C-alpha cells in the first residue's frame, strides 16, 4: 500500500487527535481518539469507517489555506480506495479499481453482446416468457458462476483486510450490530440527526442518506426477488414468468423502483458535491457503478413493462448484460465498499462489546 497516502492520513489523524472537535460526527472519531499512535492498519480501519459525509471538513478550522491543510474526507477516501486495491483478489485485479469506469463500460458491452448473440442464435425450442429467448439451463450456466466466483473473491479480500487491520475472532452479535448500524445508515445522520454535508457545502441534509437507503433496500429487494424465484423454481417447480401477485414480482417491482430512484438521486448528488473532498481518481468509477445499478433496475422495470412484446428480445440481453457486469465486477467496483464497511463496523461493534 503506498505509504505516502497512509502518511498523509496519519498526519491529519494526529491533528484531529489533538483537536477532537469533531467527536460525535461519526464512528471515525471515537476510533481515532482511542489511539495515540496510528499503525498502518489503524489508518486503513479509520478509512473504511468513513463514508465521506464531509461533516468534519466543513467544521474544520484548519482546512486550506491554513497551513495544516486538513481535508480528512479526502485523505481517508484515498486510503480507502487504495486499501480495496491492495486487498483485491486475485491480486492483479486490484488495478481494475483505477480504471473502473472504462472497464465497466467494456464488460457491459461485451456481456450484453454475448447474451444478445446467444439469444439470437441458440433459441430454445420451448420455454415461456424470458426462457423463450434464453433457456433456463443456459442462464444458470452463465449466472451461477458469475455470482459465486466474485462472492468468493470478495470473501478472500475481506479476510486479508480483517487480518491487516488486526480484527479478532468474529462474533455473530457484532456482525448483527454492524448490520443494524448500516441498515439505519446511522453514521450518515451526522451525530446530531440533521444528516450530512455533501451536496451543498456545510448545509446538513438527509438527501444522501435517503438516496443510499433507497439504493440499499431496493437492491436487497431485487436480490430477494431473484432468490425467491430460484426457490419457487427448484423448490416448488413453479417457473417464470410469474404473475403480478407472486413473491418475485411483489419484491422485484418495488425493489426496482427504489433502486432506480436511489441510484438516480445518488448520481445527481454526486454531480453537486465538491470532488476535491473525495478521492479524485475514484470519482469516475464510482459514478459508473451508480449508473450501472441504475441501468440494472431501469432495464429490469422496462423488461417487465414490455412483457409479451417484441421489445423483450432486445431488452432481455440488455438487462441480463447489466446484471452480469454488476456481478463480475462486484469485487473490483464500488460494490466492494459494502463488505469493507461491514467489516469495519463489525470491528467497532466488537470493540464496544469488549469495553462495555
Partner 1 sequence: MADNPDIVVIGGGNASLCAAITAAEQGARVLILEAAPKAYRGGNSRHTRNFRCMHAGPLGPLVDSYSEEEYFDDLLKVTGGKTDEHLARLAIRTSEECLPWMEAHGVRFQPSLSGTLSLARTNAFFLGGGKGLVNAYYRTADSLGVVVEYEAEVTHLELEQDEIVWVDYLKNGVSYRISPKSVVVASGGFQADVDWLARAWGPAAENFLIRGTPYNRGVVLADLLDQDVEQVGDQTQCHAVAIDGRAPKFDGGIVTRLDCVPFSIVLNKNGERFYDEGEDVWPKRYAIWGRLVADQPDQVAYAIIDAKSLNLFMPSVFPPIKADTIEDLATEMDLPVSAVRATVDGFNAACGDTSGFQPTELDGVATGGIVPAKTNWARPITEPPFYGYSLRTGVTFTYLGLRVDENAQCAIGNRPIGNLWAAGETMAGSILGQGYLAGFGVTIGTVFGRIAGREAAKHAN
59 binds partner 1 (CB under 8 A): yes
Residue with cell 461493534: 349
67 binds partner 1 (CB under 8 A): yes
Q: Which of 36, 142, 102, 60 is nearest to 285 (CA)?
A: 102
Inter-residue contact 239 to 137 (CB < 8 Å): no
> What is d(CA 217, CA 207) in angstroms, rounded to the nearest whole number?
15
Kindly write out the interface string for residues 1-20 of this chain, putting x where it contacts ligand SF4 by CB under 6 A and - elsewhere: --------------xx--xx
Residue 202, binding choice from partner 1, ligand SF4, none, Cβ under 5 to 8 Å by partner class: partner 1
**What's the min distance (Å) between Cβ of 187 and partner 1?**
14
What are the Cα distances from residue 52, in Å, to 12, 83, 177, 188, 334? 15, 15, 21, 9, 13
Residues in the chain: 356
Kindly write out the interface string for residues 323-352 of this chain, putting x where it contacts partner 1 by CB under 8 A and - elsewhere: ------------------------------
Residue 114, binding choice from ligand SF4, partner 1, none, Cβ under 5 to 8 Å by partner class: none
Inter-residue contact 266 to 289 (CB < 8 Å): no
Between 49 and 104, CB nearer to ligand SF4: 49
Residues 253-272 binding ligand SF4 (CB under 6 A) are none
Kindly write out the interface string for residues 132-171 of this chain, putting x where it contacts ligand SF4 by CB under 6 A and - elsewhere: ----------------------------------------
**What's the min distance (Å) between Cβ of 327 and ligand SF4?**
29
Residue 69, binding choice from partner 1, ligand SF4, none, Cβ under 5 to 8 Å by partner class: none
Which one among 6, 9, 26, 31 touches ligand SF4, defined by CB under 6 A? Answer: 26
Give the helix, strand, coil percentages of the chain, each rounded to 5.
70, 0, 25
Q: Which of 301, 278, 286 is nearest to 337 (CA)?
A: 286
182 binds ligand SF4 (CB under 6 A): no
180 binds partner 1 (CB under 8 A): no
The stretch among 56-64, 126-134, 232-240, 326-334 that binds partner 1 (CB under 8 A) is 56-64
Which one among 122, 170, 194, 307 touches partner 1, defined by CB under 8 A? Answer: 194
Grid cell digits, residue 70: 486538513
28 binds ligand SF4 (CB under 6 A): yes
304 binds ligand SF4 (CB under 6 A): no
Residue with cell 472504462: 102
> What is d(CA 247, CA 191) in angstroms, rounded to the nearest whole number?
38
Which one among 5, 6, 22, 330 touches partner 1, defined by CB under 8 A? Answer: 22
Inter-residue contact 72 to 60 (CB < 8 Å): yes
CA dihedral 331, 332, 333, 335 (to 10 degrees): 10
The stretch among 15-23, 166-174, 220-228, 289-297 that binds partner 1 (CB under 8 A) is 15-23
Residue 50, binding choice from partner 1, ligand SF4, none, Cβ under 5 to 8 Å by partner class: ligand SF4
> What is d(CA 351, CA 213) in angstroms, rounded to the nearest whole number?
26
Q: What is the DSSP string of 28-65?
A: HHHHHHT-SS--HHHHHHHHHH-----HHHHT-TT-TT
Which one among 1, 33, 253, 254 touches partner 1, defined by CB under 8 A? Answer: 33
Q: Which of 180, 79, 111 is nearest to 329 (CA)?
A: 111
Q: Give the interface with partner 1 as residue ranges (CB under 8 A).
A: 14-15, 17-25, 30, 33, 36, 55-56, 58-68, 191-192, 194, 202-203
Residues that bind ligand SF4 (CB under 6 A): 15-16, 19-22, 25-26, 28, 50-56, 59-62, 70, 72-73, 76, 187
Amino acid at each position: 500500500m503506498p505509504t505516502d497516502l497512509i502518511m498523509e492520513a496519519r498526519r491529519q489523524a494526529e491533528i484531529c487527535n489533538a483537536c477532537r472537535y469533531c467527536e460525535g460526527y461519526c464512528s471515525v472519531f471515537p476510533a481515532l481518539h482511542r489511539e495515540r499512535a496510528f499503525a498502518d492498519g489503524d489508518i486503513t480501519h479509520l478509512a473504511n469507517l468513513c463514508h465521506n459525509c464531509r461533516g468534519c471538513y466543513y467544521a474544520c478550522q484548519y482546512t486550506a489555506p491554513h497551513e495544516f491543510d486538513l481535508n480528512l474526507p479526502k485523505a481517508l477516501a484515498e486510503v480507502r480506495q487504495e486499501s480495496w486495491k491492495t486487498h483485491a483478489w486475485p491480486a492483479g485485479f486490484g488495478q481494475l479499481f483505477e480504471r473502473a469506469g472504462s472497464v465497466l463500460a467494456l464488460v457491459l458491452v461485451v456481456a450484453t453482446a454475448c447474451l444478445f448473440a446467444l439469444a439470437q442464435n441458440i433459441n430454445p425450442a420451448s420455454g415461456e416468457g424470458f426462457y423463450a429467448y434464453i433457456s433456463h439451463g443456459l442462464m444458470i450456466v452463465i449466472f451461477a458462476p458469475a455470482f459465486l466466483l466474485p462472492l468468493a473473491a470478495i470473501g478472500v479480500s475481506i479476510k486479508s483486510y480483517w487480518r491487516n487491520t488486526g480484527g479478532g475472532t468474529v462474533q455473530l452479535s457484532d456482525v448483527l450490530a454492524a448490520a443494524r448500524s448500516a441498515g439505519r445508515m446511522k453514521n450518515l445522520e451526522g451525530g446530531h440527526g440533521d444528516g450530512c454535508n455533501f451536496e451543498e457545502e456545510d448545509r446538513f441534509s438527509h438527501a444522501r442518506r435517503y438516496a443510499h437507503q433507497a439504493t440499499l433496500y431496493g437492491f436487497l429487494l431485487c436480490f430477494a426477488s431473484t432468490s425467491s424465484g430460484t426457490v419457487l423454481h427448484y423448490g416448488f417447480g413453479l417457473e417464470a414468468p410469474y404473475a403480478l401477485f407472486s413473491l418475485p414480482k411483489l419484491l422485484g417491482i418495488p425493489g426496482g423502483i427504489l433502486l432506480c430512484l436511489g441510484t438516480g438521486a445518488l448520481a445527481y448528488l454526486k454531480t453537486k458535491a465538491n470532488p476535491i473532498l473525495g478521492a479524485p481518481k475514484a470519482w469516475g468509477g464510482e459514478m459508473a457503478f451508480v449508473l450501472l445499478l441504475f441501468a440494472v433496475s431501469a432495464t429490469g422495470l422496462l423488461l417487465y413493462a414490455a412483457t409479451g412484446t417484441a421489445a423483450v428480445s432486445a431488452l432481455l440481453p440488455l438487462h441480463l448484460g447489466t446484471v452480469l457486469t454488476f456481478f463480475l465486477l462486484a469485487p473490483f467496483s464500488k460494490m466492494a465498499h459494502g463488505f469493507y464497511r461491514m467489516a469495519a463496523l463489525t470491528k467497532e461493534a466488537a470493540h464496544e462489546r469488549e469495553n462495555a
